[in-house]
Structure 1
């Protein structure tokens, strides 16, 4: 996707990468900050309570951004035992990441109302940043480990599903990677066509068209 976009529209490709860098940085910083506010200073001591992209971008994940148009940041270290709020502490920390991406979409929606951001390259930047952060918001809420959606949902599942939770925690990353490979190789059969369908109405909610 990214290489095709770069060949057809380099300026849009740069804006796309900018949106992902902003989104991943803010997302991971939100995890770190919320954990610190709830009593866990692990990420704070690791230098993660910052908006410096260098503290949050993973080398391999960044290379994947350039080559494939998707990637990841450094996982934010969190010790649930240090968090206040019982079961809701880790859930709040997990939720902080996607919510931060949603707030970026909202800010872009406000900027898109201003005449200066309704044409030219500024409009492209706003739309790309909004679209990539809408993508991060929806994608990270998918309940497959290690995505945040699993950390938000799994604590509230009945004990009868403990075996399923253990299975997903062990094999979820491989399942997710397999689904991504299928999406790249055989887009027509990608489950993400359904899982990511809320992106378009989400952007429309904030008054912006979807680029996906």
Structure 2
């Protein structure tokens, strides 16, 4: 019987750990940058924390296991407190996806160090296989979230970035049709259309980023 899950059952524990790290750091980064620019809304609502319970969104989390991508609970941001709303808004929006890219790179670097120093040779085979599976999922999941969240569709960060780049009139029009755009986004995510739209973008992006990471870390990779 074919599983409806995006991951094999034996990988689920690794996915859960990687997911908690990815989503928690992503939303914390949004909250932290917003707080640094003068908006304490997220902090006041208990979102300036590294506790996964404060950030996980039920539907977005379940979707990760079914579709392979999802989202966390959005961090509340009040642009009224920003001295420069456009710049602050862009940096707050970028902070989340960028944190996922950093986690992915750190994860790959850590595994390269472990492999290059022969530490893994002292561990049982099952532990080595477990570490390989965990780091592979951690790296791929975070790169996926980096790319996915930069898509220019609401409610993703890429859409918020575009809102802060366009004129006030264009922003108002975007807000007017935002609910319809969210419906389009959900259709693309939960129907087979994602195989022709979102998936190709993510797969190509992941390949490019992994190639770049390998180039950067190649001097440290054991031959």
What TM bracket, shorter-length normalisation? 0.7 to 0.9
Which residue does 2:220 correspond to in 1?
Answer: none
Which residue does 2:155 correspond to in 1?
Answer: 146
Matched, 1:5 2:7: yes
Matched, 1:136 2:145: yes
Bigger Cα Rg? 2
Alignment of 1:33-44 (within 5 A): 33-44=32-43
Which residue does 1:156 correspond to in 2?
Answer: 165
RMSD: 2.5
| Alignment size in residue pairs | 202
Which runs of 5 or more residues in structure 1 are unaligned? none
| 2:184 paired residue among 175, 181, 188 | 175
Structure 1 contact 15–125 (Cα < 8 Å) conserved: yes
Could you say if the C-alpha distance between residues 4 and 68 of structure 1 is closer, same or farther in structure 2, counting changes exceeding 3 Å? closer
Q: Compute the displacement of 1:194 (Å).
A: 2.9
Structure 1 contact 105–133 (Cα < 8 Å) conserved: yes
Please list every run of at least 4 consecutive aligned residues from structure 1 whose deviation after the TM superposition is greater than 6 angstroms.
Answer: none
Which runs of 5 or more residues in structure 2 are unaligned? 122-127, 216-223
| 2:199 paired residue among 193, 197, 201 | 193
| Cα shift readout 1:177-204 (whole Å, capped 9, x = no counterpart) | 000122xx4664x301332121111022
Matched, 1:202 2:209: yes
Q: What is the TM-score normalised by the length of structure 2? A: 0.80
Q: Compute the displacement of 1:69 (Å).
A: 4.1
Structure 1 contact 117–126 (Cα < 8 Å) conserved: no
In 2, the alpha carbon distance for the partners of 1:201 and 1:117 equals 28
In 2, the alpha carbon distance for the partners of 1:117 and 1:108 equals 15
Could you say if the C-alpha distance between residues 153 and 137 of structure 1 is closer, same or farther in structure 2, counting changes exceeding 3 Å? same
Alignment of 1:1-212 (within 5 A): 3=5, 5-7=7-9, 10=10, 12-114=11-113, 115=115, 116=119, 119-158=128-167, 161-162=170-171, 165-182=174-191, 185=192, 188=195, 190-196=196-202, 197-207=204-214
Structure 2 contact 14–134 (Cα < 8 Å) conserved: yes
Structure 2 contact 7–65 (Cα < 8 Å) conserved: no
Q: Compute the displacement of 1:15 (Å).
A: 1.6
